[in-house]
Chain A
Amino acid sequence: MGLIKHNIKPTETFTNLATALAFSPTAEALLSEAKRISERLGAKLLLIHAGVKNKVAEEKAGLLLEKVGIDSTKVKLIWQEGDPVKVLNEVCHKEKVDLLILGALKHEDVLKYYIGSIARKISRNPPCSLLLITNPQLTKHSLRKVVVTGDNHPKTSNTIEKACHFAVNFNVKKITIVEEIDPKKVKTKIDDNLTLEQAYHEKKDLQEKEDQRIFKILHKLPLDSDTDVTLRCVFGKKGYSISHYAEVKKASLLVMNSPDNRLGILDRFFPHDLEFVLSDMPCDLMIVHPN
């Protein structure tokens, strides 16, 4: 635990952004979110439409861009027919996109959850880093709290770095890094008052170790500005606990590592790690891909 003052200089995080252009009710809001993010980060924005390029669609797209205030001559719009998931994957690879912005529902009904929506399908095996926006808004709004995974994993160092830079770019003043520790790691079994105390001390030691690990990552970050970085240690199921924490603390963005393997249907029946977050998204979600 413990509050540390950390100063992080705003720097480049993502340079090649992309978002899916669809003609859904939330399309306009999502597009304006994408526009604001690209402006903030000073990054290029690529629009991908999975569908046939014809006059009607082009007109619709033009209208949408105009509404949002995107100069259609300055933005690259890619039209490609096919399954949206495949199209997005392919284009992101080809165009070296490093952050794909998509809209997503917080909760999906049971059936849809097991089949999977576009956003979730992509999250389960992302081609690049991903930002799922649950509640895209037309007007400017700011991020409050950002919760970042402190998982003991090689990817975490990069994720924390990206998340902090991203947050600083949006003037976020509070970043919480959540270390999830498997309760099974506590070897003492609680039987009576004595073992209860022993278990508590063992937990504190484990927490200290985790804190040290995160400190090492944080020390590598460039220093400046006045963002609060807090470490929070919770004992609980990985993926679930951080999601619950983000919900309790009303975070506005949760940042997670990308999954190591493609998450399949079995993972939805027996959720673990990221799947817990996807099944019940507490807020906007960023999945950071190592490339």
Chain B
Amino acid sequence: MSELYKGIKGFKQSGLKNILAGFVVSLIALPLALGLAIASGVPPMAGIITVVVGGTLAAALGGSHVTIAGPGNGLVVVILTSVVTLGQGDLLVGYTYTLGAIVVAGVLITLLGFLRLGNLADFFPSATIQGMLSAIGLIIIAKQIHVMLGESGVEAANNLFLLVETPNSIIAVIQSPEIPWVAIMGVVSLGIMASYSKIRNPIFQTIPAPFWIVVLAIGFYYFFYWFSEHEFPISNEFLIQIPSNLKESFVLADFSNWNKSGFLIAVVSITLIATIESLLSIKAVDKLDVYKRRSNINKDLKALGIATTVSGLIGGLPVVAVIARSSVNVNQGATSRWANFFHAVFVLLFVVLFTNLLTKIPLSALAGILVFTGYKLASPKQFKQMYNLGKDQFVIFIATLLATLLFGLINGILIGILVTFGVQLYLMQNRLEFVRTLLRPNTLLYEEEDGSLHLSVKGHSSFINYLKLKEVLDSIPANKSLILDFSLTTFVDNSVMEHIYHYKDDFKKKNSSLEVIGLDIHDSTSEHPFAARRMMRFTNFMKKGDVLTARQKRMKQFAKDLKWDFKSKSITELPLLEGFPFFRRKKLAHAYNVFRGEHKGVRVKLMDVEFYEGELFAKEVHKHTVLMLSPITPIPRFRLDKERIFDRIAGMAGFEDVNIDGHEDFSRRFRVKGKNVEKIKAFFTNDLVLFFETHPYYHLESDGKNILILKGNRISSISEVKALAIYGTELIEKLGN
């Protein structure tokens, strides 16, 4: 792909692409901005100010590429709460006080960017974030469903009760003596949002759903205006209020409440939620970017913080990066921040040119759009997904959700973190050790002699120390592949598994790979790939069902390709292996992930073996991947290796180095040892020597009947397993059985 230019040059390079993408996004952004502002308890124009400030400042200063900035869903609840509490009933007063809080929060967000704390959002365990988002979705539904049905003024002690009031509102609509046009507009709007993705009509799909609603609503008005004798049946209180003089939309922030606790809570909530929502969106959008660019999140935070400050000063809402609008942006072929800029320009144009038209949109239609966004956040599918992650995650999710509904966002997420910690403690085996090493380093990154990168993680790996792991993962150069080794861990939590899963994608995008090893012997809390893992005791292992790890699944696939048999189950009877000198001083515990196959009449067995040296507290557990060949014709007993780590066993077995005549190079690179020198010399034919010289190095030994092949001293990655299997089959062919 050719280089993408920045600035004006980039604009010229991309041609109309970004303008078009910006236009389509503006069709969604316009109704959403109006709706989100109204739902937040502030004038609709506040949403427009947010879009314009966000679109220009974030585009000019931002560090991401195709994200769209504007008012966000997550903040609706925070702003509404703040407006209501700070205004003590007077929404307009509450609005100006809230603007003060938004300005301060904007400054804080900018500071977070300067302090390079963009990573902090990754600290929050994923189930608590999901719980919080679903709670926000439910709150949005609870507030907006009554507006959608045209039943304003429904009140309840808390958001849960408000939601329970829904049937009453429906009954009120049904019982109303006149035609409930407001409710009909709302329900139609929700219907369009819900069915939009299912209607595959290309003409229908050219305009985004929210804009259809705008078009229909305005069309409805003009229908009455032109064709009907009746008056427009929806009174002004149910329509959007936009001042005819747009200058009146600007409201200045009021800081006089700065020392009140409500103000502080608002500042903290806005900072927290705006940061989390933005960072989640930026990360998600980076995955969509066709140019595989990595957003500079700290730079983006600074830009969003500055935009929020400016927006708050003149009457707008916090500016955050938003995922839904950004996805549309990417789909429409946006290549740079110019699209974000143009979406703001178009929204501004709409408002300036068609102010009068916009005031004909019923509030219930916008509420319909919002009910649908709320539903997206809290759909039954979300609940099911969380349940599939495992009971532990579901408990955390529900606890955070309920806590957020009952005690607000900040308390909700704090309770969520505490519950997560408690659940992990409950799952853990060695709790005291866990607490002791809670804040210690637990990662080691090193380059192997062959240049590949190896990252070993030890002890417990959870959301608590994930940021450190992330720092290491983020420092891997773009062209390097990584082997991530969890074999020294006793516990890996769900958040880490999920993050790693996403990292795999990132590595793939960069044309390198991230391979996770060492989790096969861990027990998982559910069958989901993100399920938390903990080290099993040996007895548990025997009972283990067929919950395969990603590595095992790929092994199984590989076995299928080779037409070999694959069983992940553990075997403890390993008489053949015990006969090899390699295992003479070691105690074999068990073998697992066993491949069984046949190649040219030779039985092949590839497996992960676990063995130990020493006993009791001095026990050293080792895990290797080994390949065993059982040829029919007898072969001499010998051992072949290059590295000398195995000399120890050889020394005890009393073997001698055998030099193969006429192959000085081979003799220099490999050590062949065995008792029966003549037979070994005869066995190493020119062909075989050439084979060894031209293939990667493996440790090889024969007990007279079988051949054992292994490499390194850890479990092999899947590509190494494949290489080992292929090496084995090629060796069989060379041996000419």
Contacts and interface: CB of A to CB of B under 8 A. Distances in A.
Given A236-B444, A248-B444, A248-B488, A134 B477 contact: no
A106 interface: yes
A247 B645 contact: no
A110 B436 contact: yes
A193 B293 contact: yes
Interface stretch (A52-60, A64-72, A138-146, A150-158): A138-146
A173 B294 contact: no
A202 to B, nearest CB: 11
Given A110-B433, A247-B458, A236 B441 contact: yes
A154 B714 CA distance: 35
Nearest to A193: B294
A3 interface: yes
26 contacts: A105-B617, A113-B436, A134-B618, A142-B648, A144-B645, A144-B648, A171-B647, A173-B644, A174-B644, A183-B475, A190-B475, A191-B297, A193-B293, A193-B294, A199-B475, A200-B475, A235-B445, A235-B475, A236-B443, A236-B445, A241-B441, A245-B446, A248-B456, A248-B714, A271-B440, A280-B437
B172 interface: no
B95 to A, nearest CB: 36
Contact of A250 (B293, B444, B622, B651): B622
A276 B432 CA distance: 17
A106 B433 contact: no
A1 B456 CA distance: 18
B116 interface: yes
B447 interface: yes
Interface residues of A, number: 46
Interface string A243-270: 0110111100000000000000000000
B485 interface: yes
Contacts of A233: 446-447
B737 interface: no
B618 A135 contact: yes
Contacts of A197: 477-478
Interface string A164-182: 0000000101100000000
A245 B444 contact: yes
A107 to B, nearest CB: 7
A244 B298 CA distance: 31
B620 interface: yes
B478 A234 contact: no
Interface in A183-222: 183, 189-193, 196-197, 199-200
Contacts of B639: none
A232 interface: yes
B299 interface: yes
A89 interface: no
Interface string A1-44: 10100000000000000000000000000000000000000000
Contacts of B475: 183, 190, 196, 199-200, 235
Contacts of B618: 106, 134-135
A240 B456 CA distance: 13
A230 interface: yes
Interface of A: 1, 3, 105-107, 109-110, 113, 134-135, 141-142, 144-145, 171, 173-174, 183, 189-193, 196-197, 199-200, 228, 230, 232-237, 240-241, 244-245, 247-250, 271, 276, 280
Nearest to B299: A191
B63 A196 contact: no
A234 B445 contact: yes
Nearest 3 pairs of A and B residues by beta carbon:
A135-B618, A173-B644, A244-B444
A186 to B, nearest CB: 8
Nearest to A2: B449
B295 interface: yes
Nearest to A249: B713
A145 B620 CA distance: 15
Given A144-B645, A193-B294, A248 B485 contact: yes
B474 interface: yes
A50 B445 CA distance: 44
B422 interface: no
A250 B648 contact: no
A144 B618 CA distance: 17
Contact of A189 (B116, B432, B447): B116
B456 A196 contact: no
